[in-house]
């Protein structure tokens, strides 16, 4: 076509200016190059996501990419490409309490005194994220500090106050020790008035970690570490029902069969032995 007609005559034929044609040609080439580069970067992102088991967020992935790519890339572009791929970090996001009147923060009554003299005297509770394909399940877990047993847990597709209140309902139906302490972080679910009222009405003492200090709730963080390394990171399912079934099996194993090194017994075996 270019041999028979000049650029000017072709532009005149289709009704565009010569400068407009070259502008389009330049943009088309850049757009094509950009698409190829994006596909290459996406492949890298997928590999990094798999290699580090989904624990890297956009900033760490961006840092990693800038070590291996010829041209620099910023975290905004990494975020866009991760969003297009449906990839998210599985690390639990920090939950910040909004300063509304309906929320209240309580003192750190537990104060890292993680030893308990009797069952259901001191309980730690927290929420963790569980990836299901491109979505998440949320599990609220209560751990008895007397024997390390998971005494209550609830799983939901929503991380809301209803999730934690349903877990508390399980605890209320147990033979809790007098002045039982229930310790959590300052997540909005635990600072809600409905949650606090439920504890107060049932004689449960509410305790909270200091802001941004995960070590104040170390026992439950320790459980989540075992839970993810021994189950979540080892399975690949996008079926919520299958995931919940696997979680139920793991909790049973954790309580009844998994040996604790500090006493050589499972959680329930230790509780039974101490009765």
- Residue extents of the structural domains in the chain: 18-85, 122-274
Per-residue pLDDT at 96 exceeds 50: no
DSSP states along 82-111: HHHHT----SPPP-PPP--TTB-----SST
- Per-residue pLDDT, averaged over 264-272, amounts to 95
Helix axes 58-68, 18-51, angle to 10 degrees: 110
- Banded model confidence at residue 239, pLDDT cuts 50, 70, 90: very high
**179 dihedral zone (left: phi>0; alpha: psi -120 to 50; beta):** left
Instruction: Give the residue among 185, 179, 164, 198 at the shortest CA–CA distance from 116.
Output: 179
Q: What confidence category does residue 40 fall into, taking pLDDT thresholds of 50, 70 and 90?
A: confident
pLDDT at 196: 95
The answer on pLDDT for 13 being more than 80 is no
- 132 contacts 237 by C-beta, under 8 angstroms: yes
Query: In the chain, count of helices (H) and strands (E)?
Result: 10, 5
Rounded to two decimals, the pTM is 0.64
Backbone torsions φ then ψ of 161, nearest 5 degrees: -65, -35
Residue 158 has pLDDT above 50, yes or no: yes
Q: Under CATH, what is the fold of the domain 122-274? A: Nucleotidyltransferase; domain 5 (3.30.420)
Say whether pLDDT at 218 is over 60. yes
Mean pLDDT, residues 227-245: 93
pLDDT tens per residue, range 179-197: 999 999 999 999 999 999 9
Distance CA 143, CA 125 (A): 6
pLDDT of residue 100: 44
pLDDT of residue 70: 73
Whether the per-residue pLDDT at 93 is higher than 90: the answer is no
| Rounded CA separation 192/55 (Å) | 29
Phi-psi domain of 112 (left: phi exceeds 0; alpha: psi -120 through 50; beta: other): left
Checking if the pLDDT of 72 tops 80, the result is yes
| Cβ contact 56:49 at 8 Å | yes
| Window from 20-29, 47-56, 90-99, 210-219 with minimum mean pLDDT | 90-99
Q: Starting at the edge strand that comes first in sequence, how are the strands of the sheet with 181-184 ordered? A: 150-156, 135-144, 122-132, 181-184, 205-208
Residue 37 has a pLDDT of: 74
The per-residue pLDDT for range 245-261, each reduced to its tens digit, is: 999 999 999 999 999 98
- Fill in the DSSP letter of residue 5: S
Range in 27-41, 103-117, 206-220 the model is least confident about: 27-41
pLDDT attached to residue 26: 59
Give the pLDDT band of residue 99 (cuts 50, 70, 90).
very low
Sign (positive or negative) of CA dihedral 152, 154, 155, 159:
negative
Largest CA distance in the chain: 98
Residue 97 confidence class, pLDDT cut points 50, 70, 90 = very low
Report how far residue 171's alpha carbon sits from residue 169's, in angstroms, rounded to the nearest whole number: 5
Whether 2 shows a pLDDT value over 50: the answer reads no
Structure tokens at 232: 């979540």
User: Distance between alpha carbon 225 and the CA centroid of its chain, in Å?
Assistant: 12
């Amino acid at each position: 076509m270019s041999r028979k007609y000049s650029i000017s005559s072709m532009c005149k034929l289709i009704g565009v200016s010569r400068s407009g044609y070259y502008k389009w040609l330049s943009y088309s080439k850049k757009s094509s190059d950009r698409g190829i580069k994006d596909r290459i970067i996406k492949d890298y992102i997928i590999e990094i996501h798999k290699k580090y088991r989904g624990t890297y967020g956009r900033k760490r992935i961006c840092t990693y990419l800038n070590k291996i790519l010829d041209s620099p890339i910023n975290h905004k572009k990494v975020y866009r490409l991760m969003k297009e791929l449906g990839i998210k970090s599985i690390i639990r996001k920090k939950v910040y309490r909004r300063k509304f009147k309906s929320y209240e923060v309580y003192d750190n009554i537990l104060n890292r005194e993680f030893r308990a003299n009797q069952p259901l005297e001191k309980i730690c509770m927290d929420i963790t994220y569980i990836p299901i394909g491109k979505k998440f399940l949320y599990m609220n877990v209560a751990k008895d500090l007397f024997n390390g047993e998971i005494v209550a847990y609830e799983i939901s597709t929503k991380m809301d106050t209803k999730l934690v209140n349903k877990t508390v309902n399980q605890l209320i139906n147990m033979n809790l020790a007098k002045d039982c302490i229930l310790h959590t972080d300052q997540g909005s679910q635990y600072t809600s008035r409905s949650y606090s009222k439920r504890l107060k009405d049932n004689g449960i003492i509410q305790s909270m970690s200091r802001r941004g200090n995960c070590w104040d709730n170390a026992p439950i963080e320790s459980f989540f570490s075992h839970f993810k390394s021994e189950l979540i990171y080892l399975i690949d399912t996008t079926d919520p029902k299958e995931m919940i079934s696997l979680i139920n099996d793991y909790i049973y194993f954790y309580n009844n069969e998994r040996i604790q090194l500090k006493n050589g017994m499972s959680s329930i075996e230790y509780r039974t032995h101490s009765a």
